[in-house]
Structure 1
Amino acid sequence: MRTSGTKRSAAAALAALTLVLTAGCDSSGEGGKVPTTTSAARADVLAVKIDNVAAARPPTGLEKADIVYVEQVEAGLSRILAAYSSDVPSVIGPVRSARETDLELLRQFDEPTLAYSGAQSALRPSIEAAPLDALPPSKAPNAYFRSGDRAAPHNLYLRPAKIPHAPTGVNAAEDIGLRFAASPPGGTPVNGRTVSYPSARFTFTWSTDRDQWLVSMDGTPARTASGDRLGAATVVLQNVDVRDSRFRDRGGNTSPFSATVGSGSAAVLRDGTSYDVAWERNTAESATDFTTQDGRPMTFATGQIWIVLVPK
């Protein structure tokens, strides 16, 4: 279980020092005092692997995530990796097992915490070696609980306050270079887009009333635990290479690996418009850049971002 809180303590100490220095200096630099530049706050990311088969729906707390990653898993099904920083709900789930794709995605963030139900034994060394704080139930038993309203394994939930993990007010998307700003020029008006995996389907339909892309899964409107529609301000349909990994599930199905280091094309949906963009991520340690056809950084609508990893 995570007990030291080293990263948060260091960040808090730096913030406190910054406030002290700022309070002791006149911002104009008059009277012989040197003005001090404040340090920008950083995201402290909690990533949670969330189940996404029909028996696991509706999810709890997904609507509070800064970024929702959708990836293909065994048997052509889908699973979600949700990144939280600006806001963290009291309960998140249902929590499921980690995959190799998650480890590469999370290299974009600064030592995130990964909450997951477990992983096959062959993958565990890779998780332990990854630059993240791995947090399965065995390391934080008090942070997880089983719900009685659905059958296992779709009933494991996380209480982030028990880790502990608190919101930072800093959006995880901005922390990896995604910029919230007005729409770029160009684009094509669209009412919706659909992405299909062999055994899963996602549809994003533009709602002018809500200024969001309403999410449907497998032909059914996706909802929160309270019954509201799930919706995204921006949806990124990122075309990636999906190949077999060396891992298999208990049923003998090969785990697919979605490669997010490299380059390719994507469609960014925002404000009822689709933009054809290019994506590039040179190394696992770097973040993903999205650029418009004229070479400018793509901008995103304020709110939750869904990034769907689409097989090329």
Structure 2
Amino acid sequence: MVPVPIPGTGVSPFTGLPGRLGPVLAVKIDNVQAARPHTGVEVADLVYVEQVEAGQSRILAVYSSRLPSKIGPVRSARESDLELLRQFGKPLLAYSGSQTALKPLIKKAPVFALPPEAAPGAFTRDRNRFAPHNLYLNPLKAQAAAPKSDGAKDIGFRFGPPPSGGTAVNQHTVRFPAATFNFTWSGKRRQWMISMDGKAYRTPAGIPIGTPTVVVQNVNVHPSRFKDRWGSVSPYTETVGKGTATVLRNGRSFKANWSRPNAQATTTFTTLAGKPMNFTPGQVWVLLTAH
């Protein structure tokens, strides 16, 4: 997908690349097999993967420096998203709905909440796909509905040469209770090529998707007080605190630590020696996995 050309200057704090320091748009994206292939994820600055009900995974894609023409399929928000997004200031959060009990928390959170009923012109249904896996967002129309959302700012990421050491690896597997991600290093593309549940991750046009940096952030995941419509308890993923991480870049695996002392603070990643853990400039995938 060709991104919508948006002029701008500066170095993105999300990717370490020159780009527009534009409004932050976070989009909740369905990630069961019926929802794939996704549209527009390959253009995101950041891609967070988190656990949801029944051990499945869901994506929170963050955009600022570039925008695709369409993003989706869009699905519902979770309580964990509100804590994760506090470090972005007051971003725009596009989602397809939420549990009734969660709505007061979303209303109080520092986000511009954008479900379809708030901006119906920004969402469309793809008649070639089955509901609920067929709702898509027009990001330009979404941003027009929240013109005062905060622009990109430092969230703690650092970009530059890799640290010394690490372990040479060709692939790395990350498992959620009911979802599996595999990252295979391509020296030719200088990226970790992505597979989900045993299938190559591709755009709707069939182009393989990879990323230069993968962060496996070990966090606390515990049951929340919310349940979905079928009675499954929604897990809560804690992104405030500290812990360990594995960073994949340049065909090597590095052990790291992460720290975020409070919800307003940035998330810093350091080597075991306490120095900044640099990422490769470009899109970053962060998988929030249980200890």
TM-score (normalizing by structure 2): 0.89
* Structure 2 Cα separation of the partners of residues 108 and 288 of structure 1: 8
Unaligned runs of 5+ in 2: 1-7, 10-19
Alignment counterpart, residue 167 of structure 2, candidates 166, 180, 188: 188
Q: Which residue of 2 aligns with 1:143?
A: 122
Question: Aligned letter for 1:127?
Answer: I
Give the letter aligned to residue 261 of structure 2. N
Aligned residue number for residue 76 of structure 2: 97
Name the structure 2 match of 1:245. Answer: 224
Please give the residue correspondences for 1:111-190 in structure 2 after superposition, counting only pairs within 5 Å.
111-164=90-143, 172=152, 175-190=154-169
Shift of 1:43: 4.5
Instruction: Tell me by how many angstroms 1:185 deviates.
Output: 1.2
Counterpart Cα distance in 2 of 1:93 and 1:128: 23
The number of equivalent residue pairs is 270
Task: Tell me, in whole angstroms, the C-alpha distance in 2 between the residues paired with 1:250 and 1:87.
Answer: 35
Q: Does 1:270 align with 2:249?
A: yes
Displaced runs of 4 or more, over 4 A: none
Structure 1 residue 253: deviation in Å? 0.1
Verify: 1:71 aligned to 2:50, yes or no: yes
SS, match of residue 99 in structure 2: coil
Q: Which residue of 69, 81, 87 corresponds with 2:66?
A: 87
Which residue, out of 86, 89, 97, partners 1:107?
86
Q: Deviations over 1:60-97 (max 9, x none)?
A: 00000000000000001000000000001110000000
Q: What CA deviation, in whole Å up to 9, does each residue of 1:7-37 have, x standing for no partner? A: xxxxx9xx9xxxxxxxxxxxxxxxxxxxxxx
SS of corresponding position for 2:143: coil
Amino acid at match of 1:134: A
**Is 178-187 or 283-292 further displaced after alignment?**
178-187
- Aligned 8 A contact 1:236 1:269 in 2: yes
* Equivalent residue, structure 1, for 2:279: 300
Quote how far apart the aligned CAs of 1:164 are: 3.3
1:279 aligns with 2:273: no
Q: Which runs of 5+ in 1 are unaligned?
A: 1-11, 16-40
Q: Give the superposed CA RMSD.
A: 1.9
- 1:58 to 2:37 alignment: yes
Instruction: Please name the residue that 1:236 is paired with.
Output: 215
Deviation by residue 1:99-144 (Cα, 9 ceiling, x = unmatched): 0111111011021000000100010111110001000001000000
Write the distance in 2 (CA, Å) between the matches of 1:226 and 1:62.
13
Aligned 8 A contact 2:92 2:143 in 1: no
How far off its partner does 1:42 sit? 4.7
Maintained 8 Å contact 1:43/1:175: no
Larger radius of gyration: 1
In the other structure, the counterpart of 1:44 is: 23
Give percent identity, aligned residues only.
59
The higher relative CO (CA closer than 8 Å, separation ≥ 6) is in 2
Q: Secondary structure at the match of 2:116?
A: coil
